[in-house]
Amino acid sequence: MPNRDPGALTASAATDDAPSLTSALPPRHDRDLAEAILDAVVEAIVVLDPASGRIVDVNRGAEVLFARGRDTMFGRSFADLVRPTDAARLAGFIDHIAAGRRNAATVMTEIQPASGPPLSLEVVLQPLATEGGPPAIIAIARDVTDRIEVQVRLQRLAQAEHARAAELNAVIRAMGEAVVVCGADGRTVLANPAAERLLPDIASQSYDDVLGLLNDPNRLAPKLGAREGPVELAMREDPDRWFELTTYPVTVGIGLAAAGDETILVVRDVTDARRREAIRETFIGVLSHELRTPVTTIFGGAKLLAREQSTLDEETRRGIFRDIYDEAERLQRLVEDVVAMNRFSDEGGEIGWEPVLVQRLLPTVARSEESRWPGITYVLDVGSGLPTVLADPTYVEQVIRNLLSNAAKYGGAGSTVTISATAGDDEVIVRVMDDGPGFPEEETNRLFELFYRAPGTAGTASGAGIGLFVCARLIRAMGGRIWASPRPEGGAEFGFALRELDE
């Protein structure tokens, strides 16, 4: 690594045969190049002597992560740097790899910084074989507490034959970001597996080919030979997909340009991150809008009722109480949906599994909805002898309530909502049918998307576009299926099925 004397390493390490990160590359230029590259990697890289398990070399990232200087780490056991309770387990993995009983190992542990909470680490251990040099064990430690993205991965890859060296290949292949090294003409000199997965055929292409995939009318893409970025650009063929590009000029030392003027290109697919940010902004906007009405009604009504010298007649007071109750219930349901959405938005979350009789839940929920929608007629058609399902009764009730409320809201005053429950093949099927305006067939697959509201009915009823999304997530989390379809005679059907409890 820059300004490190290779001879000094042996003196401060465990043995005279202790390898450096670049001991297999005899030319001084190549050693400087490899050291500059490894010092540019954000992950902490530690080289261990397999015989003693002691540290013989570290990169700059290790100094930052462990908050220790190189000299204070040389010759120490790597297990001394981590949580004491994990030291023996980590040392055991190192012994197994040194003895050839394991090819690699991944260990989760912690370190305690001088201030603040502990940092969680993922440590990847693997053997490092170098041509003409002694064997070693390489440990790559990543701070996974906040999944801090890599800012600088590599500083230099001078020639293709150096990139094939075993010690550099081990580091590059362990990196999750797509890393491409381009020559002065833009042609690809090296690409790691992550780059080949993200950009197929990149090994035979150039930086111009990468830019050709992106929509960049203002020429914002970072330039080769300069440290620029990160810049986010959309794909030409798929505008919903976004890449982040960052370039780093390759150097072999402080301020020294590399032979060949190579440039390191780091590419990240930031589509999911942008989508999450867009959803977050939409969610905040929708939620603030949906909260305004119930909060204003509750606050205003409570303020009127709290007046000491009130001249309100009894009927007016009852009306205010009824408005407060209705809006408080609406607020409660919105909060329930938000909580469920937060828990199950990524198709995850744990469900409480227990026997549930759907036929007992339906009448209770239907009566509750009748009081909320006095102009709606609810008709129950529940088959006899329905089997027990395996689900969470609270979430089943929430789904039924959302579907009944949705049917009443879009069916309109005077409409009829029919709820049926029948036994299917190893499942119980619940259908909620209304005689309202329905929806076009082409919108069927979008109704359960977050914040989606059918254009034909969005203006006739208020809503946040959360309820059906939550229903879908809850039913799938309980191992069931959910669907929506327009009825031939008019109106809409929303239904779900839950698995029968095995006896």
- Please check whether residue 229 is in contact with residue 14, taking contact to mean a CB–CB distance below 8 angstroms: no
What would the CATH number be for the domain defined by 6-143? 3.30.450.20
Reported as type and span, the H/E element at residue 120 is strand 119-128
Q: Name which of 163, 100, 174, 105 is nearest 135 in CA terms.
A: 100
Q: Could you report the per-residue pLDDT of 239-272, keeping only the tens digit for each?
A: 888 899 999 887 655 444 444 578 888 998 888 8
pLDDT score recorded for residue 151? 38
CATH, domain 354-499, list 3.30.565.10, 3.40.1390.10, 3.50.50.60, 3.40.50.720: 3.30.565.10
131: exposed, middle or buried (C-beta count within 10 Å: 0-12, 13-18, 19+)? exposed
Q: Fold for 176-269, please state it.
A: Beta-Lactamase (3.30.450)
Angle, helices 393-411/358-372, rounded to nearest 10 degrees: 40
Strand arrangement, sheet containing 228-235: 188-191, 178-182, 263-269, 242-249, 228-235, 214-215
Q: Which residues contact 338 (CB under 8 A, 6 or more apart)?
A: 287, 466
Residue 201's contacts (CB-CB under 8 Å, 6 or more residues apart) are none
**What pLDDT, on a 0 to 100 scale, did the predictor assign at position 32?**
65
pLDDT at 131: 64
The ranges assigned to domains in the chain are: 6-143, 176-269, 274-344, 354-499
pLDDT per residue as tens, the chain (503 positions): 444 443 333 323 334 444 444 444 445 555 566 677 777 777 888 888 888 888 888 888 888 888 888 888 888 888 888 888 888 888 888 888 888 888 888 888 888 776 677 788 888 888 877 666 678 888 888 877 765 344 334 444 434 444 444 555 666 666 778 888 888 888 988 888 888 888 888 888 899 999 999 998 888 899 988 888 888 899 888 888 889 999 988 765 544 444 457 888 899 888 888 777 766 665 565 566 566 667 777 777 787 777 766 677 778 777 788 778 777 776 776 677 666 666 655 555 556 678 989 999 999 888 888 877 888 888 998 888 899 998 888 888 888 988 998 888 887 778 889 999 999 888 999 999 998 888 888 888 788 877 666 655 544 555 556 778 888 888 888 889 999 998 888 888 999 999 998 76
What is the C-alpha separation between 58 and 21, in angstroms, rounded?
A: 8
The pLDDT of residue 431 is: 93
Confidence (pLDDT) at 30: 58
DSSP for 285-321, please give it: HHHHHHHHHHHHHHHHHHHHHT-TT----HHHHHHHH
Q: Which residue from 361, 179, 365 is spatially nearest to 263, judged by alpha carbons?
A: 179
The answer to whether residues 497 and 480 touch, using CB atoms and an 8 Å cutoff, is: yes
Phi/psi region, residue 492 (left: phi>0; alpha: psi -120 to 50; beta: rest), is beta
438-495 per-position pLDDT tens digit: 888 888 878 887 766 665 554 455 555 677 888 888 888 888 999 999 888 888 899 9
Q: DSSP states of 179-222 as a string?
A: EEEE-TTSBEEEE-HHHHHHSTTGGG-BHHHHHHTEE-TT--SP
Tokens of 396: 């089943």
> In the CATH hierarchy, which top-level class contains the domain 274-344?
mainly alpha
Distance CA 111, CA 121 (A): 7
- Cα dihedral 134, 140, 141, 145, rounded to 10, equals 180
pLDDT at 301: 79
Buried b (16+ CB within 10 A) or exposed e, 294-312: beebbeebeeeeeeeeeee
pLDDT of residue 464: 55
Phi, psi at 487, each rounded to 5°? -90, 140
What local confidence, expressed as pLDDT, does residue 496 receive?
Answer: 94
Span between the terminal Cα atoms of the chain, in Å: 66
Per CATH, 176-269 and 274-344 having the same topology is answered: no
